[in-house]
Amino acid sequence: MSRVIAVKKRASNSPIKTFLAVLVLYSGLIAAGLYAVFGSDYPGISALPYAWAPMVSAGVTIWLCDESVRDWLGQLRNLRAGLHWYLVGVGIMMIGTEFENIVAVLLGGNIVVPAYPPMTYIIPFALTLFLGGALEELGWRGFLQPRLQQRFSALHASVGIGVVWGIWHVPMILGGAGDFTVFSEYMLIIIVQSVILGWLYNNTKGALPVVMITHASHNMAPIGDVTGGVPAAFGILSGDAVFYVLCASLIALYTGSQTLTRDGTLPAVPGQLSEHLPQRGPHAD
């Protein structure tokens, strides 16, 4: 019993380090198990437990810190952020996915819509939202974002989360689970997407469903299939990377790096007791 108390005390002193330690431990065990069962070529559906790592790590850390797991999970009920935020989030991800097609059509290319049967879009979206990648947001935005930006600017917190988020995917990339592009481009995309998702989280006062639905919408296939007219420049850097970099840059310039919000406010830290919150002085953008 005294050992458990000691562990909880250490965790409460450094929740971010505890989260990262649990993340590495849980992810390593799951990746090792998948490799032992399937070798170096995982079936996509088998990797779902790996996608739960950020959520599990956040929940375990909050429990170890004697904070409120119920309050942390309560972010899932924060649905009333305004329809426009859902539309903005999904719209950004869909335009990014279709950016090369949009440019190609403007240059005279021919397009077929939809490119795939309807269930090709519905099933991946539903799986990602309720069972897969969107649940990561309970850890990335629902835990790390509000805690990191108590100490660092929201922009730096978002970039840092993006780096961790990208590196965390490496075992799945090596295992062939998922459709990943060139790693350097993948890291760029995931870092700038982290800025976009951090912006959505902060501006909706921690409305995690907005972030989760936005995350899930990125995993859908392109709606259009274009022949001809795609600029050769997209062979160097993909259209979605170009568009997301542009969006993240405009967001940072418009809102300021400190909070990524125009009113300079940040959402509360879910689950964390107020007396344990670090005190942060005023900052200027």
Give residue-wise pLDDT tens across range 84-101: 999 999 999 999 999 988
pLDDT tier at 273, thresholds 50, 70, 90: low
pLDDT above 90 (res 3): no
> Phi then psi for 226, rounded to 5 degrees?
-105, 140
Q: Count CA atoms closer than 13 A to 218's CA, side-chain side.
A: 26
pTM of the model: 0.89
| Contacts of 173 by beta carbon, 8 Å cutoff, 6+ apart | 180, 183, 186
Please state, rounded to an integer, the average pLDDT across all residues of the chain: 87
Q: How is residue 101 written in tokens?
A: 């097609």
Q: Does residue 203 surpass a pLDDT of 90?
A: yes
What span, in angstroms and rounded, lies between the C-alpha atoms of 142 and 145?
7
Among residues 161, 192, 202, the alpha carbon closest in space to that of 23 is found at 161
65-69, 70-74, 104-108: lowest mean pLDDT where?
A: 104-108
If pLDDT is split at 50, 70 and 90, which confidence band does 283 have? very low
Judge residue 202's burial from the number of C-beta atoms within 10 Å of its C-beta, 0-12 exposed, 13-18 middle, 19 or more buried.
buried
pLDDT tens digits along 98-116: 998 888 888 887 877 777 7
